[in-house]
Structure 1
Amino acid sequence: MSVPPLFRGLFDDASVFPPGDLPLGEAVPAHRGHRLAWYADSVGPFLCGAGRAGELAALRPEFPVALVLPPGGEYVPVPGLDVVGVEVAATVLPRLPAGVPGCLELPYGEDLFKLLDQLADTAHRAKFRTGGLTADAFPTVAELAAALTACAERGVPYKCTAGLHHAVRHTDPVTGFEHHGFLNVLLAAADPDRAAEALGERSGTALASAVGSLTDRQAALARLSFTAFGTCSIAEPLADLAELGLLTQENR
Protein backbone atom coordinates (compact mmCIF):
# COMPACT_ATOMS: atom_id res chain seq x y z
CA MET A 1 0.00 0.00 0.00
CA SER A 2 1.00 3.61 -0.50
CA VAL A 3 0.44 6.45 1.95
CA PRO A 4 -3.27 6.43 2.95
CA PRO A 5 -5.38 8.84 0.85
CA LEU A 6 -6.12 11.02 3.90
CA PHE A 7 -2.46 12.05 4.08
CA ARG A 8 -1.47 12.19 0.42
CA GLY A 9 -0.04 15.56 -0.59
CA LEU A 10 -0.90 16.96 2.82
CA PHE A 11 2.55 18.31 3.76
CA ASP A 12 3.74 21.28 1.69
CA ASP A 13 7.49 21.73 2.14
CA ALA A 14 8.04 25.13 3.79
CA SER A 15 11.56 24.35 5.00
CA VAL A 16 13.00 27.67 3.78
CA PHE A 17 10.52 29.67 5.88
CA PRO A 18 10.71 30.40 9.65
CA PRO A 19 11.31 28.78 11.99
CA GLY A 20 13.18 26.28 9.78
CA ASP A 21 14.99 28.85 7.60
CA LEU A 22 16.87 26.16 5.69
CA PRO A 23 19.14 27.60 2.96
CA LEU A 24 17.93 26.81 -0.56
CA GLY A 25 21.13 24.93 -1.24
CA GLU A 26 20.18 22.48 1.51
CA ALA A 27 16.40 22.58 1.13
CA VAL A 28 16.37 21.57 -2.55
CA PRO A 29 18.34 18.30 -2.16
CA ALA A 30 16.37 17.56 1.02
CA HIS A 31 13.12 17.91 -0.95
CA ARG A 32 14.47 15.61 -3.64
CA GLY A 33 15.11 13.09 -0.89
CA HIS A 34 11.54 13.41 0.38
CA ARG A 35 10.25 12.65 -3.13
CA LEU A 36 12.30 9.47 -3.28
CA ALA A 37 11.37 8.25 0.20
CA TRP A 38 8.69 5.70 1.11
CA TYR A 39 6.45 8.54 2.31
CA ALA A 40 6.79 10.52 -0.95
CA ASP A 41 3.02 10.50 -1.60
CA SER A 42 2.48 12.60 1.53
CA VAL A 43 4.68 15.45 0.25
CA GLY A 44 3.20 18.43 -1.56
CA PRO A 45 4.95 21.17 -3.54
CA PHE A 46 8.08 23.01 -2.47
CA LEU A 47 7.18 26.48 -1.15
CA CYS A 48 9.44 29.39 -2.06
CA GLY A 49 9.20 33.15 -1.71
CA ALA A 50 8.75 34.80 -5.11
CA GLY A 51 11.77 37.00 -4.46
CA ARG A 52 13.98 33.89 -4.41
CA ALA A 53 12.44 32.22 -7.46
CA GLY A 54 15.43 32.98 -9.67
CA GLU A 55 17.80 31.53 -7.08
CA LEU A 56 15.65 28.42 -6.89
CA ALA A 57 15.52 28.06 -10.68
CA ALA A 58 19.32 28.13 -10.83
CA LEU A 59 19.35 24.96 -8.72
CA ARG A 60 17.33 23.20 -11.46
CA PRO A 61 14.52 21.77 -9.34
CA GLU A 62 12.58 19.05 -11.12
CA PHE A 63 9.65 19.09 -8.70
CA PRO A 64 6.44 21.15 -8.33
CA VAL A 65 6.84 24.60 -6.76
CA ALA A 66 4.35 27.00 -5.17
CA LEU A 67 5.46 30.62 -5.04
CA VAL A 68 4.59 32.83 -2.07
CA LEU A 69 4.12 36.47 -3.04
CA PRO A 70 4.36 39.47 -0.72
CA PRO A 71 1.14 41.49 -0.18
CA GLY A 72 0.34 43.30 -3.39
CA GLY A 73 2.94 41.33 -5.34
CA GLU A 74 2.47 40.38 -8.97
CA TYR A 75 3.08 36.94 -10.39
CA VAL A 76 5.99 36.79 -12.83
CA PRO A 77 6.67 33.46 -14.57
CA VAL A 78 10.16 32.07 -13.95
CA PRO A 79 11.72 29.81 -16.58
CA GLY A 80 12.85 26.50 -15.15
CA LEU A 81 10.19 26.28 -12.44
CA ASP A 82 7.14 24.02 -12.51
CA VAL A 83 4.81 26.46 -10.73
CA VAL A 84 1.66 24.67 -9.58
CA GLY A 85 0.28 27.46 -7.38
CA VAL A 86 0.71 31.00 -6.14
CA GLU A 87 0.02 32.13 -2.58
CA VAL A 88 -0.41 35.72 -1.43
CA ALA A 89 -1.45 37.56 1.73
CA ALA A 90 -3.74 40.20 0.31
CA THR A 91 -7.39 40.99 -0.29
CA VAL A 92 -7.17 40.26 -4.02
CA LEU A 93 -5.29 37.67 -6.04
CA PRO A 94 -2.83 38.82 -8.71
CA ARG A 95 -3.56 37.99 -12.33
CA LEU A 96 -2.61 34.38 -12.86
CA PRO A 97 -2.26 32.38 -16.07
CA ALA A 98 -4.67 29.57 -16.81
CA GLY A 99 -3.75 26.43 -14.94
CA VAL A 100 -2.01 28.20 -12.05
CA PRO A 101 -4.42 28.31 -9.09
CA GLY A 102 -4.12 30.93 -6.40
CA CYS A 103 -4.28 30.72 -2.64
CA LEU A 104 -5.40 33.85 -0.78
CA GLU A 105 -4.38 34.24 2.86
CA LEU A 106 -7.40 35.60 4.69
CA PRO A 107 -7.73 37.47 7.98
CA TYR A 108 -9.97 36.25 10.76
CA GLY A 109 -12.89 38.52 11.64
CA GLU A 110 -15.66 40.38 9.87
CA ASP A 111 -13.92 40.72 6.48
CA LEU A 112 -13.38 36.99 6.19
CA PHE A 113 -16.87 36.13 5.04
CA LYS A 114 -16.98 38.75 2.25
CA LEU A 115 -13.62 37.57 0.95
CA LEU A 116 -14.77 33.94 1.00
CA ASP A 117 -17.80 34.96 -1.05
CA GLN A 118 -15.37 36.24 -3.69
CA LEU A 119 -13.45 32.95 -3.72
CA ALA A 120 -16.56 30.79 -4.02
CA ASP A 121 -17.02 29.21 -7.46
CA THR A 122 -13.44 29.97 -8.50
CA ALA A 123 -10.43 27.67 -8.93
CA HIS A 124 -8.70 29.29 -5.97
CA ARG A 125 -8.30 28.39 -2.30
CA ALA A 126 -8.31 30.21 0.99
CA LYS A 127 -5.26 30.13 3.26
CA PHE A 128 -5.37 30.42 7.04
CA ARG A 129 -2.50 31.22 9.36
CA THR A 130 -2.65 28.87 12.32
CA GLY A 131 0.44 29.97 14.22
CA GLY A 132 3.68 31.87 14.19
CA LEU A 133 6.40 33.30 16.37
CA THR A 134 4.07 35.18 18.74
CA ALA A 135 1.02 34.14 20.74
CA ASP A 136 -1.33 36.43 18.82
CA ALA A 137 -0.45 34.61 15.57
CA PHE A 138 -2.45 31.61 16.79
CA PRO A 139 -6.22 31.83 16.18
CA THR A 140 -8.56 30.65 18.89
CA VAL A 141 -10.59 27.49 18.45
CA ALA A 142 -13.67 29.64 17.86
CA GLU A 143 -11.94 31.77 15.20
CA LEU A 144 -10.57 28.81 13.28
CA ALA A 145 -13.81 26.83 13.58
CA ALA A 146 -15.79 29.78 12.19
CA ALA A 147 -13.39 30.08 9.25
CA LEU A 148 -13.46 26.39 8.37
CA THR A 149 -17.24 26.21 8.72
CA ALA A 150 -17.65 29.26 6.48
CA CYS A 151 -15.46 27.61 3.85
CA ALA A 152 -17.55 24.44 4.01
CA GLU A 153 -20.76 26.43 3.58
CA ARG A 154 -19.37 28.10 0.45
CA GLY A 155 -17.51 25.13 -0.97
CA VAL A 156 -14.17 26.93 -0.73
CA PRO A 157 -11.14 24.67 -0.19
CA TYR A 158 -8.33 25.89 2.04
CA LYS A 159 -4.82 25.24 3.23
CA CYS A 160 -3.17 26.23 6.49
CA THR A 161 0.20 27.74 7.20
CA ALA A 162 2.44 27.96 10.27
CA GLY A 163 1.93 26.27 13.61
CA LEU A 164 0.61 22.89 12.43
CA HIS A 165 3.84 20.92 12.81
CA HIS A 166 2.21 18.35 15.07
CA ALA A 167 -0.83 16.14 14.75
CA VAL A 168 -2.56 16.92 18.04
CA ARG A 169 -3.60 20.13 19.75
CA HIS A 170 -1.18 20.96 22.58
CA THR A 171 0.39 23.67 24.69
CA ASP A 172 4.02 24.29 23.80
CA PRO A 173 6.03 23.62 26.99
CA VAL A 174 8.58 26.34 26.17
CA THR A 175 6.47 29.23 24.84
CA GLY A 176 3.11 28.39 26.38
CA PHE A 177 1.49 28.94 22.96
CA GLU A 178 -1.66 26.93 22.14
CA HIS A 179 -0.94 24.96 18.96
CA HIS A 180 -3.62 23.51 16.71
CA GLY A 181 -3.09 19.96 15.42
CA PHE A 182 -3.39 18.93 11.80
CA LEU A 183 -5.44 15.86 12.73
CA ASN A 184 -7.82 18.19 14.56
CA VAL A 185 -8.19 20.24 11.37
CA LEU A 186 -8.73 17.12 9.25
CA LEU A 187 -11.54 15.99 11.54
CA ALA A 188 -13.07 19.47 11.54
CA ALA A 189 -13.01 19.37 7.74
CA ALA A 190 -14.65 15.94 7.73
CA ASP A 191 -17.52 17.16 9.94
CA PRO A 192 -17.82 20.98 9.84
CA ASP A 193 -20.86 20.90 12.13
CA ARG A 194 -18.57 19.70 14.93
CA ALA A 195 -15.53 21.76 13.96
CA ALA A 196 -15.06 23.44 17.35
CA GLU A 197 -15.24 20.10 19.16
CA ALA A 198 -12.70 18.54 16.79
CA LEU A 199 -10.32 21.49 17.05
CA GLY A 200 -10.43 21.46 20.83
CA GLU A 201 -9.59 17.76 21.29
CA ARG A 202 -6.23 17.15 23.03
CA SER A 203 -6.16 13.36 23.17
CA GLY A 204 -4.02 11.76 20.49
CA THR A 205 -5.69 8.43 21.18
CA ALA A 206 -9.15 9.91 20.63
CA LEU A 207 -8.07 11.70 17.45
CA ALA A 208 -6.39 8.60 16.03
CA SER A 209 -9.51 6.55 16.76
CA ALA A 210 -11.74 9.16 15.11
CA VAL A 211 -9.50 9.32 12.05
CA GLY A 212 -9.45 5.55 11.80
CA SER A 213 -13.26 5.52 11.91
CA LEU A 214 -13.71 7.93 8.98
CA THR A 215 -15.53 6.46 6.01
CA ASP A 216 -14.00 6.83 2.57
CA ARG A 217 -16.58 9.52 1.82
CA GLN A 218 -15.74 11.46 4.99
CA ALA A 219 -12.02 11.22 4.29
CA ALA A 220 -12.54 12.44 0.73
CA LEU A 221 -14.67 15.34 1.99
CA ALA A 222 -11.98 16.28 4.49
CA ARG A 223 -9.30 16.49 1.81
CA LEU A 224 -11.51 18.33 -0.66
CA SER A 225 -11.80 21.02 2.01
CA PHE A 226 -8.44 20.88 3.82
CA THR A 227 -6.02 20.43 0.93
CA ALA A 228 -2.62 20.89 2.63
CA PHE A 229 -0.57 22.76 5.18
CA GLY A 230 2.89 24.23 5.02
CA THR A 231 5.42 22.72 7.40
CA CYS A 232 9.11 23.57 7.78
CA SER A 233 9.69 19.96 8.85
CA ILE A 234 8.35 17.00 6.90
CA ALA A 235 9.78 14.66 9.54
CA GLU A 236 7.74 15.99 12.50
CA PRO A 237 4.23 15.30 11.17
CA LEU A 238 5.35 11.91 9.86
CA ALA A 239 6.75 11.01 13.28
CA ASP A 240 3.49 12.02 14.95
CA LEU A 241 1.44 9.87 12.58
CA ALA A 242 3.77 6.93 13.19
CA GLU A 243 3.52 7.36 16.96
CA LEU A 244 -0.27 7.32 16.70
CA GLY A 245 -0.21 4.19 14.55
CA LEU A 246 -1.66 5.97 11.52
CA LEU A 247 1.31 5.70 9.17
CA THR A 248 4.18 3.19 8.96
CA GLN A 249 6.58 1.99 6.29
CA GLU A 250 4.40 -1.11 6.05
CA ASN A 251 1.79 1.16 4.40
CA ARG A 252 3.93 1.09 1.27
Structure 2
Amino acid sequence: MFHRLTTDTLNWILIIGVVLFVIEIAFFHGGMIFSALFAGVFIYIGWKHYHELWGKIIFWLGTVGLLLSVLNMLAVRFFIIAAVIFFFVQYSKSKKEGAHVKPILPGHQEVITDPLVKVETLFDHRVFDDQKTAETAYQWRDINIHGAFGDRVIDLSNTVLPEDTAIISIRHIVGNITIYVPYEVDVSIHHSSVFGRAHILGKHHLNLMNQSFHYQTPGYDQARTRVKVVTSILSGDIEVTRI
Protein backbone atom coordinates (compact mmCIF):
# COMPACT_ATOMS: atom_id res chain seq x y z
CA MET A 1 0.00 0.00 0.00
CA PHE A 2 2.89 2.39 0.74
CA HIS A 3 4.06 2.23 -2.90
CA ARG A 4 1.32 4.81 -3.58
CA LEU A 5 3.16 7.36 -1.47
CA THR A 6 4.44 10.03 -3.88
CA THR A 7 7.98 11.31 -3.61
CA ASP A 8 6.84 14.88 -2.89
CA THR A 9 4.63 13.66 -0.03
CA LEU A 10 7.50 11.65 1.43
CA ASN A 11 9.81 14.66 1.10
CA TRP A 12 7.39 16.86 3.06
CA ILE A 13 7.07 14.22 5.77
CA LEU A 14 10.87 14.02 6.09
CA ILE A 15 11.24 17.81 6.16
CA ILE A 16 8.59 18.22 8.88
CA GLY A 17 10.20 15.41 10.88
CA VAL A 18 13.61 17.12 10.70
CA VAL A 19 12.07 20.46 11.73
CA LEU A 20 10.38 18.84 14.75
CA PHE A 21 13.67 17.18 15.66
CA VAL A 22 15.47 20.56 15.56
CA ILE A 23 12.67 22.21 17.58
CA GLU A 24 12.95 19.54 20.25
CA ILE A 25 16.70 20.17 20.56
CA ALA A 26 16.48 23.97 20.46
CA PHE A 27 13.40 24.72 22.58
CA PHE A 28 12.97 21.70 24.84
CA HIS A 29 16.61 21.36 25.97
CA GLY A 30 17.05 18.22 23.94
CA GLY A 31 13.72 16.76 25.00
CA MET A 32 13.88 12.99 25.04
CA ILE A 33 17.05 12.93 22.95
CA PHE A 34 19.38 13.12 25.95
CA SER A 35 17.26 10.55 27.74
CA ALA A 36 17.69 8.25 24.74
CA LEU A 37 21.46 8.80 24.77
CA PHE A 38 21.57 8.09 28.51
CA ALA A 39 19.58 4.89 27.96
CA GLY A 40 22.00 3.98 25.18
CA VAL A 41 24.89 4.19 27.68
CA PHE A 42 22.98 1.84 29.98
CA ILE A 43 22.49 -0.61 27.11
CA TYR A 44 26.18 -0.52 26.23
CA ILE A 45 27.35 -1.10 29.82
CA GLY A 46 24.76 -3.82 30.37
CA TRP A 47 25.75 -5.58 27.15
CA LYS A 48 29.43 -5.54 28.09
CA HIS A 49 28.56 -7.23 31.43
CA TYR A 50 25.55 -9.20 30.24
CA HIS A 51 26.99 -12.41 31.71
CA GLU A 52 26.34 -11.00 35.19
CA LEU A 53 22.95 -10.43 36.80
CA TRP A 54 23.42 -6.69 37.29
CA GLY A 55 24.47 -6.38 33.65
CA LYS A 56 21.25 -8.01 32.47
CA ILE A 57 19.21 -5.67 34.67
CA ILE A 58 20.98 -2.55 33.37
CA PHE A 59 20.72 -3.76 29.77
CA TRP A 60 16.96 -4.27 29.88
CA LEU A 61 16.36 -1.09 31.88
CA GLY A 62 18.28 0.78 29.18
CA THR A 63 16.34 -0.97 26.40
CA VAL A 64 12.97 -0.05 27.94
CA GLY A 65 14.17 3.50 28.62
CA LEU A 66 15.41 3.90 25.04
CA LEU A 67 12.12 2.65 23.62
CA LEU A 68 10.08 5.03 25.79
CA SER A 69 12.38 7.95 24.98
CA VAL A 70 12.15 7.36 21.23
CA LEU A 71 8.36 6.99 21.30
CA ASN A 72 8.06 10.30 23.19
CA MET A 73 10.08 12.32 20.66
CA LEU A 74 8.05 14.87 18.68
CA ALA A 75 9.43 13.69 15.33
CA VAL A 76 8.69 10.03 16.04
CA ARG A 77 5.15 10.84 17.17
CA PHE A 78 4.63 12.81 13.97
CA PHE A 79 5.87 9.90 11.81
CA ILE A 80 3.53 7.49 13.61
CA ILE A 81 0.54 9.80 13.18
CA ALA A 82 1.41 10.43 9.51
CA ALA A 83 1.70 6.67 8.87
CA VAL A 84 -1.68 5.98 10.50
CA ILE A 85 -3.40 8.77 8.54
CA PHE A 86 -1.81 7.63 5.27
CA PHE A 87 -2.87 4.04 5.93
CA PHE A 88 -6.52 4.97 6.43
CA VAL A 89 -6.55 7.33 3.43
CA GLN A 90 -5.05 4.70 1.12
CA TYR A 91 -7.31 1.99 2.50
CA SER A 92 -10.34 4.17 1.79
CA LYS A 93 -9.13 4.79 -1.77
CA SER A 94 -8.44 1.11 -2.39
CA LYS A 95 -11.99 0.20 -1.40
CA LYS A 96 -13.33 2.63 -4.02
CA GLU A 97 -10.87 2.06 -6.87
CA GLY A 98 -10.22 -1.68 -6.84
CA ALA A 99 -7.17 -3.34 -8.36
CA HIS A 100 -6.16 -2.97 -12.02
CA VAL A 101 -4.15 -5.65 -13.78
CA LYS A 102 -2.30 -4.87 -17.01
CA PRO A 103 -1.52 -8.04 -18.99
CA ILE A 104 1.88 -8.42 -20.65
CA LEU A 105 1.48 -9.74 -24.19
CA PRO A 106 4.00 -12.30 -25.55
CA GLY A 107 6.79 -10.63 -27.49
CA HIS A 108 5.81 -7.18 -26.23
CA GLN A 109 8.57 -5.09 -24.67
CA GLU A 110 8.68 -1.56 -23.41
CA VAL A 111 10.23 0.79 -25.95
CA ILE A 112 13.42 2.33 -24.60
CA THR A 113 14.28 5.39 -26.63
CA ASP A 114 17.84 6.13 -25.52
CA PRO A 115 19.69 5.19 -22.31
CA LEU A 116 21.07 7.75 -19.84
CA VAL A 117 22.58 11.22 -19.35
CA LYS A 118 23.82 13.72 -16.77
CA VAL A 119 25.85 16.94 -16.39
CA GLU A 120 27.10 20.06 -14.51
CA THR A 121 29.06 22.01 -11.90
CA LEU A 122 27.74 25.54 -12.31
CA PHE A 123 25.99 25.59 -8.93
CA ASP A 124 26.95 26.68 -5.44
CA HIS A 125 26.50 24.37 -2.47
CA ARG A 126 23.13 25.33 -0.99
CA VAL A 127 21.39 23.67 1.92
CA PHE A 128 18.00 25.11 0.95
CA ASP A 129 16.56 26.58 -2.27
CA ASP A 130 16.08 25.33 -5.84
CA GLN A 131 18.80 25.69 -8.47
CA LYS A 132 18.74 25.68 -12.26
CA THR A 133 21.07 26.54 -15.11
CA ALA A 134 20.73 29.84 -16.95
CA GLU A 135 18.02 30.09 -19.59
CA THR A 136 20.48 31.90 -21.86
CA ALA A 137 23.80 30.59 -23.25
CA TYR A 138 26.43 29.89 -20.62
CA GLN A 139 29.99 28.56 -20.54
CA TRP A 140 30.27 24.94 -19.50
CA ARG A 141 32.05 24.01 -16.26
CA ASP A 142 32.00 20.61 -14.62
CA ILE A 143 29.52 20.26 -11.74
CA ASN A 144 30.30 18.78 -8.35
CA ILE A 145 27.75 19.86 -5.75
CA HIS A 146 25.92 18.68 -2.66
CA GLY A 147 22.76 20.01 -1.06
CA ALA A 148 20.02 19.29 1.45
CA PHE A 149 16.61 20.49 0.26
CA GLY A 150 15.31 21.77 -3.09
CA ASP A 151 15.21 20.87 -6.78
CA ARG A 152 18.10 20.92 -9.27
CA VAL A 153 17.46 21.62 -12.99
CA ILE A 154 20.31 21.33 -15.53
CA ASP A 155 19.76 22.27 -19.18
CA LEU A 156 22.68 21.35 -21.45
CA SER A 157 21.08 22.79 -24.59
CA ASN A 158 22.25 26.29 -23.65
CA THR A 159 25.96 25.51 -23.48
CA VAL A 160 28.77 24.14 -25.66
CA LEU A 161 30.20 20.95 -24.21
CA PRO A 162 33.96 20.30 -24.50
CA GLU A 163 35.42 17.59 -26.76
CA ASP A 164 36.05 15.48 -23.73
CA THR A 165 34.05 14.02 -20.82
CA ALA A 166 31.84 16.57 -19.06
CA ILE A 167 31.28 15.61 -15.43
CA ILE A 168 28.17 16.14 -13.31
CA SER A 169 28.27 14.97 -9.69
CA ILE A 170 25.34 15.71 -7.37
CA ARG A 171 24.85 14.54 -3.79
CA HIS A 172 21.49 15.55 -2.37
CA ILE A 173 19.17 14.77 0.53
CA VAL A 174 15.60 15.75 -0.39
CA GLY A 175 14.42 17.09 -3.76
CA ASN A 176 14.15 16.30 -7.46
CA ILE A 177 16.85 16.33 -10.15
CA THR A 178 15.99 17.12 -13.79
CA ILE A 179 18.52 17.03 -16.64
CA TYR A 180 17.88 18.03 -20.28
CA VAL A 181 20.39 16.59 -22.77
CA PRO A 182 20.79 17.39 -26.51
CA TYR A 183 20.05 14.53 -28.89
CA GLU A 184 23.56 14.36 -30.33
CA VAL A 185 25.33 13.94 -26.98
CA ASP A 186 26.19 10.51 -25.53
CA VAL A 187 25.72 10.10 -21.81
CA SER A 188 26.41 7.80 -18.88
CA ILE A 189 24.47 8.01 -15.62
CA HIS A 190 25.06 6.27 -12.33
CA HIS A 191 22.27 6.98 -9.84
CA SER A 192 21.67 5.75 -6.28
CA SER A 193 18.57 6.50 -4.23
CA VAL A 194 17.05 5.49 -0.90
CA PHE A 195 13.52 6.62 -1.83
CA GLY A 196 12.28 7.96 -5.15
CA ARG A 197 11.63 7.36 -8.82
CA ALA A 198 13.69 7.62 -12.00
CA HIS A 199 12.82 8.41 -15.62
CA ILE A 200 15.95 8.02 -17.72
CA LEU A 201 15.55 8.46 -21.51
CA GLY A 202 12.53 6.19 -21.68
CA LYS A 203 13.62 3.83 -18.91
CA HIS A 204 11.47 4.05 -15.79
CA HIS A 205 12.04 3.00 -12.19
CA LEU A 206 8.84 3.78 -10.32
CA ASN A 207 9.73 2.51 -6.87
CA LEU A 208 13.39 2.89 -5.93
CA MET A 209 14.08 1.62 -2.42
CA ASN A 210 17.77 1.75 -1.50
CA GLN A 211 18.85 0.94 -5.06
CA SER A 212 21.38 2.08 -7.62
CA PHE A 213 21.66 1.67 -11.39
CA HIS A 214 23.98 2.57 -14.24
CA TYR A 215 23.00 3.36 -17.84
CA GLN A 216 24.84 4.73 -20.84
CA THR A 217 24.09 5.37 -24.48
CA PRO A 218 25.44 2.84 -27.02
CA GLY A 219 28.11 5.17 -28.44
CA TYR A 220 29.31 6.54 -25.12
CA ASP A 221 32.66 4.70 -24.99
CA GLN A 222 33.71 5.92 -28.47
CA ALA A 223 32.26 9.44 -28.30
CA ARG A 224 34.62 12.43 -28.19
CA THR A 225 32.03 14.67 -26.56
CA ARG A 226 30.16 12.91 -23.78
CA VAL A 227 28.59 13.53 -20.41
CA LYS A 228 29.13 11.47 -17.27
CA VAL A 229 26.51 11.85 -14.51
CA VAL A 230 26.87 10.53 -10.97
CA THR A 231 24.04 11.26 -8.53
CA SER A 232 23.04 10.09 -5.07
CA ILE A 233 19.91 11.15 -3.22
CA LEU A 234 18.08 10.23 -0.04
CA SER A 235 14.56 11.02 -1.23
CA GLY A 236 13.58 12.41 -4.61
CA ASP A 237 12.99 11.78 -8.29
CA ILE A 238 15.48 11.98 -11.14
CA GLU A 239 14.52 12.63 -14.77
CA VAL A 240 16.85 12.68 -17.78
CA THR A 241 15.20 13.85 -21.01
CA ARG A 242 16.34 14.63 -24.55
CA ILE A 243 15.78 18.17 -25.76
Q: Please state which structure has a larger fraction of its residues in helix.
A: 1
- Greater gyration radius: 2
Instruction: Report the TM-score when normalising by structure 1.
Output: 0.23
Instruction: Report the TM-score when normalising by structure 2.
Output: 0.24
Q: Please state which structure has a larger fraction of its residues in strand.
A: 2
